[in-house]
Amino acid sequence: MDADPREAVAVAAAEVGAEHASARFRTELDIEQKDDEIDLVTEVDRETQRRVIAEIRERFPDDAVVGEEEDELKTVPESGYAWIIDPIDGTQNYTRGAREWVTSVAVVRDQTPIAAVNVSPETGDTYIATEERVERNGRPMTVSDESNTSAFLVSSTLRYQDGDRPGIERLAGDIFGTFGEMRKLGTTQLTLSRLADGSIDAVVGLDEQPNAWDTVAGVYLVERAGGTVTDLDGNRWGPGQPGLVASNGRAHDEVLEAAQAAFEATR
């Protein structure tokens, strides 16, 4: 079976976007707040999204587009092809000059991913998953084989806001009591990418409805690399489901239990 031509376009579009954002990295930026003081957007976010969309629509003008910025769709259609774009995942890092941010592009068919690309230009990493391959920088990648929970590196994608503090405190306590160490990168897509390449062992997010642009590409990378991704009820994860618990699959139940306890602490 021939590869879907959208796979190559996903790679090209993500690379075009990352190149533009990287050219403006650590320059003077016009920064705006969205919903709160840590939810930021810059003119580069918008410019980058437009460039990514232009690359896609040159080949597939009739496909749906879900994008974080501006007036694109905010939910994934149930049928047909749809592109899911986060022009700069990790905008707060980007505005501070920190290298941990990515341009993310995924394409789904009837809500099922067929390609995902996360380009992290400042760390020099490109993560690609298709129906035929999953790789970092052109080399096959896989989740870690760590099974000792006391050695697990667990990353949180929680945002440190007042209403989330009880859950964060509970999750941190469970992680430091049960697992090896807790990490936080400030970008969900790069965090999931690093789970896919074996750099960390699990990821926990407690958002009741995670945004598609923050998750879909990274989830596909993890699954194609051999990992497990569920919602907070333990069901296989999909857009619109509550929370996100991802792991290398070796101790998923233990990670899920910690996530569930943390989520209950926020209620």
> Which residues carry a binding-site annotation?
68, 86, 88-89, 214
User: Phi, psi at residue 89, to the nearest 5°?
Assistant: -90, 115
Annotated binding site for Mg(2+): 68, 86, 88-89, 214
For strands 64-67 and 81-89, give the pairing: parallel
SS3 content of the chain, % helix, strand, coil (to 5): 35, 25, 40
CA dihedral 156, 158, 163, 168 (to 10 degrees): 10
Asked if 226 and 248 count as a contact pair (C-beta separation under 8 A), the reply is: yes
Compute CA distances 31 → 99, 136, 173, whole Å: 17, 31, 35
In contact, 95 and 120? CB cutoff 8 Å: no
Torsion, Cα 41 46 51 54, to 10 degrees, reads 130
